[in-house]
């Protein structure tokens, strides 16, 4: 690789990561509070929770973002730990949608249909429509335009990365380096560390797909790296659980345990079968579609195997974060969770819930105060209650005001 290839790689990677980050934010903004309300309500059964996690993650393109929201839900008492498990499993499957979208960059063929599916053909159109909607559209049209434009930026970044690393096709040192990752332990560690650094399995899988365009990555190297990427993405939820309630910490740990146990089981069975009946595809070159297949297959199998044992995962997390004699009480102020500030539409919904509760307390205080002076019904006990309610209402006002000021720094749509 020349110096200019390195610069192109840096530029392509920057555009790609920027596109991944901004597209998730734009999708959340476009979806509004309804998506977050859905995540909080449709979790009554295992299947409902799984499908909800899958659907929400497929829309916002980030299992990390979904899991952080789940940690916030559990912390504020809106979701039980048992419900959170099923949503997290659904999120792991939902995040594979991104890999399939990015695999379009690896399509090869001369037919008109294949050519139209290639990003180089349709992203210029998406970019044009997107910029027109941003410049001339109304509020929701602008949000849609942002999604289209950022998706085009993401795909251009993917194309730039693939083009920049193409000289590595003939590099023996690059091939030798990648051969190291065919060692399952080294491959898992490499995937986990890289994903933990950029905090997005979707982005790290995309980078791997771009590197696969060189033809130097074999399936033997790609498989353990993909396993590690699923573990590395848990870092975001673990960080978000710092300072949260015990159940919120357990929800983050369940995400980690699910991926570690799933990876260990998958790799033990896979490599045991490979030792007896060697897979012919292991030495073949990996491509973008093949990486998407492995990523999806792992998450579907891990979910199918571990979904019936969700209670065991819950017990494991409870053993890790043990209860003590102190009873954790969830109050209204935990609804104003800092984790929700990254999802402004839902944070607005939480503010409304807390404001409604504040209004109820205010009504109680007003009627109690009227009763105190109505017909000489004054009692010291009632007077103390009015004063206590007033103090509590002042606290609501302070907490809401502070939280709303933080929320003003987020990007809100007109409705919110």
CA distances from 272 to 269, 280, 288 (A): 5, 15, 26
Query: How far apart (Å, rounded) are the C-alpha atoms in residues 164 and 219?
Result: 22
Q: Which residue has the higher pLDDT, 177 or 30?
A: 177
Q: How confident is the model at residue 361 (pLDDT cuts 50, 70, 90)?
A: very high
Task: Give kind and range of the element (H or E) at residue 65.
Answer: helix 63-75
Angle at 16 between CA 112 and CA 407, to 5 degrees: 125
Query: How far apart (Å, rounded) are the C-alpha atoms in residues 237 and 255?
Result: 8
Q: Which residue has the higher pLDDT, 19 or 61?
A: 19
Query: How far apart (Å, rounded) are the C-alpha atoms in residues 338 and 157?
Result: 32
C-alpha atoms less than 13 angstroms from C-alpha of 305 in its C-beta half-sphere = 15
Contacting residues for 71 by C-beta, under 8 A, at least 6 apart: 84, 237, 240, 241, 244, 248, 251, 252, 339
Q: Which of 198, 189, 211, 233 is nearest to 96 (CA)?
A: 233
Three-class DSSP category at 218: strand
pLDDT of amino acid 272: 92
Q: How many other C-beta atoms lie within 10 A of the C-beta of residue 317?
A: 23
**Tens of pLDDT, residues 264-275:** 999 999 999 988
Mean pLDDT in residue range 166-195: 81
pLDDT of amino acid 387: 92
> What are the beta bridge partners of residue 285?
218
Q: How confident is the model at residue 241 (pLDDT cuts 50, 70, 90)?
A: confident
| Alpha helix (H) residue ranges in 181-218 | 184-198, 201-212
Q: How confident is the model at residue 73 (pLDDT cuts 50, 70, 90)?
A: confident
Residue 187 has pLDDT above 80, yes or no: yes
pTM of the shown model: 0.74
Query: How far apart (Å, rounded) are the C-alpha atoms in residues 379 and 354?
Result: 30
pLDDT of amino acid 262: 92
Q: Which residue has the higher pLDDT, 331 or 258?
A: 258
- Are 81 and 37 contacting, i.e. CB atoms less than 8 angstroms apart? no
Q: Helices 46-60 & 63-75, crossing angle to 10 degrees? A: 130
pLDDT of amino acid 72: 76
Q: How confident is the model at residue 327 (pLDDT cuts 50, 70, 90)?
A: very low
| Alpha helix (H) residue ranges in 307-373 | 310-320, 344-373
Residue 164 has pLDDT above 90, yes or no: no
Query: How far apart (Å, rounded) are the C-alpha atoms in residues 365 and 385?
Result: 8
**Tens of pLDDT, residues 106-141:** 666 566 666 666 766 778 888 888 889 888 877 777
What percent of the chain lies above the pLDDT cut of 70?
Answer: 87
pLDDT of amino acid 331: 64
Q: Which residue has the higher pLDDT, 315 or 31?
A: 315
Radius of gyration of the chain, Cα coordinates, nearest whole angstrom: 25
Query: How far apart (Å, rounded) are the C-alpha atoms in residues 180 and 234?
Result: 24
Angle at 166 between CA 163 and CA 169, to 5 degrees: 170
Q: Which of 50-54, 86-90, 144-148, 242-246 has the lowest mean pLDDT?
A: 242-246
Residue 43 has pLDDT above 70, yes or no: no
Mean pLDDT in residue range 206-230: 86
Q: How confident is the model at residue 38 (pLDDT cuts 50, 70, 90)?
A: low
Residue 344 has pLDDT above 90, yes or no: no
Query: Running DSSP on this structure, what letter comes out for residue 228?
Result: H
Mean pLDDT in residue range 96-112: 73
pLDDT of amino acid 180: 79
Query: How far apart (Å, rounded) are the C-alpha atoms in residues 303 and 115?
Result: 35
């Amino acid at each position: 690789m020349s110096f200019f290839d390195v610069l192109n790689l840096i530029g392509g990677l920057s555009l790609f990561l920027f596109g991944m980050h901004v597209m998730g934010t734009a999708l959340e903004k476009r979806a509004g509070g309804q998506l977050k309300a859905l995540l909080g309500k449709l979790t009554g059964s295992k299947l409902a929770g799984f499908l909800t996690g899958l659907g929400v993650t497929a829309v916002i393109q980030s299992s990390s973002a979904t899991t952080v929201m789940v940690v916030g839900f559990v912390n504020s008492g809106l979701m039980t730990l048992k419900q959170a498990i099923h949503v997290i499993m659904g999120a792991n499957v939902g995040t594979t949608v991104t890999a399939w979208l990015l695999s379009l960059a690896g399509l090869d063929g001369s037919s008109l249909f294949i050519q139209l599916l290639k990003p180089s053909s349709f992203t210029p159109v998406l970019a044009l429509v997107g910029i027109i909607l941003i410049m001339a559209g109304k509020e929701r049209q602008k949000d849609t335009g942002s999604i289209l434009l950022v998706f085009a930026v993401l795909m251009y970044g993917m194309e730039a990365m693939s083009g920049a690393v193409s000289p590595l096709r003939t590099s023996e040192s690059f091939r030798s380096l990648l051969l190291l990752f065919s060692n399952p332990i080294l491959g898992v560690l490499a995937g986990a560390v890289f994903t933990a650094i950029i905090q997005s399995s979707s982005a790290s899988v995309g980078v791997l797909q771009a590197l696969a365009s060189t033809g130097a990555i074999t399936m033997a190297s790609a498989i353990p790296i993909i396993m590690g990427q699923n573990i590395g993405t848990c870092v975001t939820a673990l960080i978000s659980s710092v300072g949260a309630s015990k159940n919120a910490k357990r929800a983050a740990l369940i995400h980690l345990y699910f991926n570690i146990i799933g990876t260990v089981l998958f790799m033990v069975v896979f490599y045991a079968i490979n030792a007896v009946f060697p897979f012919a595809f292991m030495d073949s070159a990996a491509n973008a579609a093949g990486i998407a297949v492995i990523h999806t297959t792992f998450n579907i199998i891990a979910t199918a195997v571990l979904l019936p044992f969700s209670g065991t995962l819950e017990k494991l997390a409870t053993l890790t974060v043990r209860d003590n004699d102190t009873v954790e009480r969830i109050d209204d102020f935990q609804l104003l969770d800092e984790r929700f500030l990254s999802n402004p539409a839902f944070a607005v919904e939480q503010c409304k819930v807390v404001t409604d509760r504040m209004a109820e307390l205010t009504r109680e205080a007003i009627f109690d105060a009227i009763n105190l002076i109505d017909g000489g019904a004054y009692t010291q006990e009632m007077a103390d209650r009015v004063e206590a309610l007033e103090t509590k209402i002042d606290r609501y006002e302070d907490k809401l005001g502070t939280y709303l000021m933080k929320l003003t720094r987020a990007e809100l749509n007109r409705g919110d």
